[in-house]
Amino acid sequence: MAGPGGVILNAVDLRRLLAGPVERAAPALLGWDLVHDDLRVRLVEVEAYAQDEPGCHAFRGPTPRNRVMFGPPGFAYLYFTYGNHWMLNVTAEPEGRGCAVLLRAAEPLDGLDAMAERRPKARRPEDLLNGPGKLAAALALDQTQYGFDLLDPRSPLRLEPGEPPGSLLVGTRIGIAKGKGDEIPWRFADGGRLRWVSRPLQGLSPTGTIGPSPDAGRTGR
């Protein structure tokens, strides 16, 4: 059944979509569930990164850190930054192209107690997974899962079909330095689950509406 924001595909079709342009594949991940052992979350916010832009880790070619980005689509690219945080991406586009989708926020479904233990600073369920570093911490992700096939049903860390998004919201990506693609609208969120998003969305919706999203009560950046 298709919601206003799209449909949930099966794993084979998702892999096929991930092999296409990363900015088209990224929103298709919304509504998918990310499962790590007994933990389950539903993706509500993602960002696309393409090899050709200076803000992308793969911009200057393969390195030991980003090598999985140049492999086939649907695999886990994890990296460590700010001396503290791990970030999880899904590789995209065909082998040889260094592109990926950053998973920025999710709704917790199973294993809330275990996630809360890993996120002692979180006072509310909304604070468990509303940021890429938080998401990785709550799900106990680090270099261990680097290169895992996220579309392999046997993988301890994997994607599974969830529920289609209520609507698709689009905005500019967070934390991108000026001149490095900060104006590109490749941040995508499920308009039906704004409660779980990392920060309010102010950008365009694909329908052409301009302005704050319905749920955006807090101050934007």
Partner DNA sequence: CCTACGATTCACT
Partner DNA sequence: GTGAATCGTAGGC
Residues within the interface to DNA (CB under 7 A): 47, 49, 55-58, 60, 63-66, 77, 79-85, 87, 89, 100, 102, 119, 121-122, 127, 131-135, 173-177, 198, 219, 221
Please, what is the minimum distance in Å from the beta carbon of residue 220 to DNA? Answer: 7
Specify the residue for token string 């490749």. Answer: 186
Rg of the chain in Å (alpha carbons): 16
How far apart are alpha carbons 124 and 41 in whole angstroms? 15
Please, what is the minimum distance in Å from the beta carbon of residue 95 to DNA? Answer: 17
Nearer to DNA, 36 or 119 (CB): 119
Which two structure tokens, joined as six digits, stand for 39?
């933990």
The full length of the chain comes to 221
Sign of CA dihedral 195, 28, 70, 143: positive
Nearer to DNA, 11 or 174 (CB): 174
How far apart are alpha carbons 69 and 22 in whole angstroms? 12
How far apart are alpha carbons 211 and 194 in whole angstroms? 15
Please, what is the minimum distance in Å from the beta carbon of residue 88 to DNA? Answer: 9
Please, what is the minimum distance in Å from the beta carbon of residue 208 to DNA? Answer: 26
Please, what is the minimum distance in Å from the beta carbon of residue 35 to DNA? Answer: 20
Nearer to DNA, 43 or 102 (CB): 102
Nearer to DNA, 16 or 85 (CB): 85
**Three-state SS for 137?**
helix
Nearer to DNA, 63 or 144 (CB): 63
Structure letter (DSSP) for residue 62: -
How far apart are alpha carbons 209 and 99 in whole angstroms? 29
